[in-house]
């Protein structure tokens, strides 16, 4: 049955699904963020070509951690990969029809991974061999690009009939990115080290990949808790913010526990310290079951300034976070004076400047270690008050928080630490004491 506009119900449903996917892929704090794949043909061979493939991270704060990126595609014909430098295919496939020289990979749909840093020099190329780690554009631009070279055989070696692969898949390392079809663009330029000469790729295609929470199908991985000097209440992360644990009274021998109490019999079980028992659970138990918790504490209120303390806590028993970052949206970040033990950078969007990215100082606190006494990093943030400053109605708490590009779950607004009524009255009196003399001077 069609609609009044002449659109069939299945077509309308498909359009709505597509629209929802696009909304999910849109990040309001980084609307232009993407990872661009560049496929450059740099020379022809007798049965194909040599290509340089680049993975360029244009996302301002989302990066790819270890175990790193994976890249897949589907050949449009019967192409094979004769050789690779700077990366490798995970499986060779069936190359039994070849005699003499055997291809590196004969699969129709290969999967490519980065090499390890200790790979032999003969297998390395520029921007390779970081175990798939790809930094964000602003945090570490020098390491925000990865590339490798491959020799393609059983392909056309004429520009009029040569096509790149199709159906690109970028893993980070799991699903999460949606990639466009290859688009022909002007040939890339390559400069010599002295920048006195440039060569141009014979053919170039770009593929744009955008992150989508819907594609990733991941539960949230972080949450936020609040506290303030003017209220004894500590507002915890919402219950089951990331997932819900099983019944903690379940006997440990009956099932592999998904979390571990701080003083757990599991750690004291026979064979735990010698590795003869099952793998330990991934997290310490909590009501929110989030691998990472971020705590925002409103610490001090000065005459012209105010101070907050930002703490990032790793609850994972297995995973470190190298080159972590936290993005915070708050209306007073346009007047952030200093972050005492973090690097920070404003992330303006047009005329709006209410967002900043924080990350660790290299060799000091740029790695967030696994759960335990050293599994946290913290800094105090000093703000100069802007005209809208107030401690009332939760104004001093963030509007959005991201950890490593993933949006964190915030407490509901009604639960924020409230300002006692006497303090509100004092704020009103202080405002009157400052403003009324100015008004009287203007009138008189």
Q: How many folded domains does the chain comprise?
A: 2
Distance, CA of 72 to CA of 113 (rounded, Å): 9
Percent of the chain residues past pLDDT 90, beyond the cut: 68
With 50 as the cut, is the pLDDT of residue 15 above it? no
Distance, CA of 194 to CA of 173 (rounded, Å): 36
My answer on whether 208 and 226 are in the same domain is no
**Average pLDDT of span 51-75:** 95
Which tokens belong to 352?
């709006």
For the stretch 372-412, pLDDT in tens is 889 999 999 999 999 999 999 899 999 999 999 999 999 99
My answer on whether 234 and 197 are in the same domain is no
With 50 as the cut, is the pLDDT of residue 438 above it? no
Q: What pLDDT is attached to residue 262?
A: 64
Could you tell me if residue 18 is inside a domain? no
64 DSSP assignment:
B
Could you tell me if residue 250 is inside a domain? no
With 90 as the cut, is the pLDDT of residue 1 above it? no
Q: What pLDDT is attached to residue 389?
A: 93
For the stretch 417-427, pLDDT in tens is 988 865 544 54
**Average pLDDT of span 252-256:** 47
Strands of 251-322, DSSP E: 259-260, 283-284, 292-301, 305-314, 321-322
The domain that contains 112 carries what CATH number?
Answer: 2.60.40.290
91-100, 221-230, 272-281 — which is least confidently predicted?
272-281
pTM as predicted: 0.82
My answer on whether 205 and 315 are in the same domain is no
My answer on whether 164 and 227 are in the same domain is no
Domain C-terminal end among 170, 200, 216: 216
pLDDT class of 235 with cuts at 50, 70, 90: very high
Could you tell me if residue 382 is inside a domain? yes
SS3 137: coil
Instruction: Work out the number of other CB atoms within 10 angstroms of the CB of residue 296.
Output: 23
With 80 as the cut, is the pLDDT of residue 167 above it? yes
My answer on whether 227 and 102 are in the same domain is no
**Mean pLDDT value across the chain:** 85
b/e for 84-115, b at 16 or more Cβ within 10 A?
bbbbbbeeebeeeeeeeeebbbbbeebbbbbb
With 70 as the cut, is the pLDDT of residue 265 above it? no
My answer on whether 47 and 155 are in the same domain is yes
My answer on whether 197 and 302 are in the same domain is no
Could you tell me if residue 321 is inside a domain? yes
Strands of 128-257, DSSP E: 145-153, 166-171, 177-179, 183-185, 189-191, 198-200, 203-211, 222-228, 231-235
My answer on whether 59 and 208 are in the same domain is yes
Could you tell me if residue 117 is inside a domain? yes
Could you tell me if residue 308 is inside a domain? yes
With 50 as the cut, is the pLDDT of residue 65 above it? yes
Q: What pLDDT is attached to residue 11?
A: 53
With 60 as the cut, is the pLDDT of residue 282 above it? yes
- Between 278 and 358, the more confident residue is 358
For the stretch 115-149, pLDDT in tens is 999 999 999 999 999 999 999 999 999 999 999 99
Per the structure, the complete domain to which residue 86 belongs is given by: 34-216
**Average pLDDT of span 201-229:** 91
My answer on whether 45 and 191 are in the same domain is yes
């Amino acid at each position: 049955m069609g609609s009044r506009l002449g659109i069939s119900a299945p077509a309308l449903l498909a359009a709505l699904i597509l629209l929802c996917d696009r909304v999910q892929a849109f990040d309001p704090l980084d609307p232009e963020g993407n990872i661009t794949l560049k496929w450059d043909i740099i020379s022809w061979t007798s049965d194909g070509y040599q290509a340089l493939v680049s993975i360029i991270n244009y996302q301002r704060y989302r990066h790819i951690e270890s175990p790193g990126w994976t890249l897949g595609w589907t050949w449009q014909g019967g192409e094979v990969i004769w050789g690779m430098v700077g990366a490798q295919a995970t499986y060779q496939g069936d190359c039994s029809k070849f005699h003499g020289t055997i291809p590196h990979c004969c699969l129709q749909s290969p999967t490519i991974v980065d090499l390890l840093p200790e790979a032999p020099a003969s297998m390395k190329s520029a921007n390779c061999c970081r175990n798939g780690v790809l930094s964000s554009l602003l945090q570490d631009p020098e390491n925000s690009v990865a590339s490798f070279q491959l020799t393609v055989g059983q392909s056309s070696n004429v520009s009029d009939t040569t096509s790149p692969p199709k159906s690109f898949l970028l893993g980070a390392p799991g699903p999460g990115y949606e990639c466009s079809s290859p688009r022909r663009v002007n040939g890339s330029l390559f400069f010599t080290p002295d920048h006195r000469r440039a060569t141009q790729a014979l053919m170039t295609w770009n593929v744009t990949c955008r992150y989508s929470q819907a594609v990733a199908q991941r539960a949230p991985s972080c949450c936020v808790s609040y506290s303030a000097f003017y209220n004894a209440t500590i507002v915890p992360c919402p219950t089951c913010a990331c997932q819900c644990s099983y019944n903690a009274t379940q006997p440990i021998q009956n099932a592999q526990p998904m979390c571990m109490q701080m003083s757990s019999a599991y750690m004291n079980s026979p064979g735990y310290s010698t590795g003869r028992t099952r793998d330990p659970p991934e997290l310490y138990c909590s009501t929110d079951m989030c691998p990472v918790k971020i705590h925002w504490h409103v610490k001090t209120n000065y005459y012209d300034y105010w101070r907050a303390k930002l703490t990032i806590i790793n609850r994972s028993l297995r995973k470190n976070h190298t080159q972590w970052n936290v993005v915070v949206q708050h209306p007073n970040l346009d007047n952030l004076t200093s972050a005492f033990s973090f690097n920070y950078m404003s992330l303006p969007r047009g005329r709006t400047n209410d967002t900043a990215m924080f990350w660790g100082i290299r060799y000091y606190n740029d790695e967030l270690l696994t759960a335990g006494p050293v599994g946290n990093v913290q800094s105090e943030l000093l703000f100069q008050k802007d005209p809208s400053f107030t401690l009332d109605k939760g104004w001093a708490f963030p509007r959005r928080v991201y950890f490593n590009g993933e949006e964190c779950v915030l407490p509901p607004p009604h639960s924020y630490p409230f300002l006692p009524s006497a303090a509100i009255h004092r704020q009103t009196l202080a405002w009157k004491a400052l403003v009324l003399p100015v008004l009287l001077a203007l009138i008189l």
